Structure 1
């Protein structure tokens, strides 16, 4: 029973034999089993042996019921888990839900990083790169030019961090290697041919061709999509070595793009090591104290006056008088270039005593006389040793030196100076191989035939005269409209589809306080960002301010405040809902001659509706002052209640029987007036 869930171990009613402990107490206390049977009111004739069998059978039934319940629970639990998984896989988050989830995911990814340092530009850039991957439909594969979905297998370049579909990059590698092998004249092994990233053109070997789908940190193979993690991420700590190499690893969770700079702190000194060590960020561990460097410069005379800097000190910028290498001239020059040459020949007497050194200003020894020792004739076939004052004569033999054509030799006798051009007549073939002609050997033959081969774009012909087959790449601009329908392809004319537009567009809310950056062309299908600011538009009605509401596009909602305008002439405030600046549809009826004429147009116009008559109740007495009635303020007027006047006439015995009227000339209240009826 150790594997039974806790809720099946309870003793509540209705769950099998919940009073098992009480029954056990009854069987164990109070003598033999027969007395217990009798005390419990069991039927006579039931033996202890029979009761033990029934008890054992009952315990077996209890155990079977528990096992069946656990099996049912496990089956229902697995169904619920599968249903939850299906909902997660099929659910499509709205922009608001996606934004909330994105904020939660990014805060989790940056938890370890943000706890160590303050927020800065490095973290914001990393957040922006990661948000591109998290939002649906923002990343595009540059091979198939299609959006990369969150559940699709990808490969990410280690240099530019661009993402591609695994099948697309494999096809890219295969076709690229095939074309290189096909175009090569040599018999090369396809396994040794490198391939390049479609975006940054970084070279990779065949072994680095992706074969399996891994997460960004390459710790998990075939990572499953989790809506609470960055797509294509395993959720574990990245752990890659940070760049530049500092010995620390990335603290973020598995993420796309480059790792942010190292956030740890170290104690380091400045470049010149004159200041005491200070605590700096590991990614900015090299720093300058700003004081003069003071190191000895290469000139050996001055010290570096530049502020504390990295690397070697720059050359000395001060000047001094310096002799040239032959010591004939003196000039004011920078200390950084103490050795310099003048334009005059050396002129020193050589060891032979007959000639002087003809080299331009130089250092060291002038060397032996170039005309001393064993010398050859101009064609190089005979040698002779003559004094340096005598020239070596020509030998009279044929020159025989190879001419510039590389085929024939010089037919002249041994001579000084260069050989002339080859004048032999030869059959020349043009570069394209379509024409032949006899020409002097030193001339190249170019025919006038234009090349009709297609260039690498596959759309334009080469059209170059006498082309040797190596047609130059197409130099025209593609100029095809890109997928964004706004810009044109600025690349050279190329085969296949153009790359997506590299421009970005900012999408803002109505007040332009909230903004996001999306690839050009997606601004038409991307919803504007959510803005938490209040709408700042002035109201169209007479109120100074409307009910506060969030920033929005389009017209503001109708005003829901009371009108409160002072009615005329009573001055009471209008109690109705605001009816200023109300949109009214106006139908213009045209006198049409038939069904072919235009239909009546309906236009909308904003109008200020007048306030209705005042309905404030005002108490008014009737003409005869018999009663007081409430009338709307706009309908206040004298009125007759219809009762008899009942004022005492002059006779003193009767009252006026006229309907309620305004009495004039009455001596006192209750007495009849001049206009009352006579007795």
Structure 2
């Protein structure tokens, strides 16, 4: 058998790049396949060299000298003309821009136009008997698919994926405290057994977890923080609102600040705030006009008013009408303060305004100092779905029912104390810590016992006192009355017709049933007698007054 030999020059096969060598392989590529980690590359080389590889588009053999195109995702090889036609056909169009590979459906933006070798360096490569078909015979040099691998592929231009990088590199663990040599391109994450020790988000403590991936967890220590005004404290995780720290506090308590101002006579009236308090608003350096703002203080000084030297000194009044706009009125009419120039807030307005009630149903002219509410009663259902709201001039959106439910709970003993609600009441939450026994006391349920729990079922015979002296055949029960006696007895009929020696066994319970039936039959016959039923038609054994209640069935 004749063999065809190929000579492949492979350099830099070891990680230090010092060694190089030649591999002589025959038609079966035994020597080459042993050096290539992925079998798909060797199979492609073998099939292309033996002209056994078929184009997936035309299903024809790819010849040694035919122009080809190779997909960089699945590494399938196609005829160049076939893949050009496929890329232009409607069947290859993707949802977005580009066209789909017929094998792996990978979307490519650029259509194939030229015949290049597998590594893409040479256009229209010539076939050489000693080289891989459709390759340039030079070093591949493509970037490998491994993670963080910067070493180019160091084997000859080839189809299929590049083999794994043979180099070894020193790789550090996640926390960076330890390192060890590893195969280049491997995605293995090193994790040591040492404490991470990285600075946490609070910048005061370090991570106590073992070497881990991802960001460190936020600091879990509980610390006390003070608000800006120093009145309220809270307990939060260390590092919370760290950016809001102003040297004295971390957060606003939304209360009035109350800190003494720089004048040492008044306190800050702002909401608890970040940073220093503003200067006193009554400071002589800030107040330049009278309280109403119409007259400068310099004019009042010319009129003989004394100069203010501290924030505690009163602000001179100009004596004019205040005329500050009030909150009442409308868009057309603005109500002004009618008081003389004064300090503090303006008093109530003495005028009237045409306003709507708060629910918006009615309009009325009322004094500005009053709050107008109409007499319309709300008919919407409350949150419970049973009661109506009934509030006058209602502006509520939820209509919560504040009545007590009061329904009996599942225990049958207590009532629901929750506010009126939809759906079933919750089970009774009360429980007993006494033992619950059956009537005879032989079967016991131990505490805690939920309210409404029935006594346990007992498999022993009932020990209650019974009306008859017959043996008992029923179990212990929690009901007050025992079931009827079912013991078999020998009874005379009610009319003593049967001889005492001729006895029939009847259940003790049947005696009561027979008596009830006799009374019913007697009442029926009395009614028929009143209707004029002939006495001759009556059987002899049912004539008379039935004092003995004997009835012989016929």
From the two aligned structures, give the one with the greater helix fraction.
1
Q: TM-score, normalised by structure 2?
A: 0.34
Asked which structure has the greater RCO (Cα within 8 Å, sep 6+), the reply is 2
Q: TM-score, normalised by structure 1?
A: 0.28
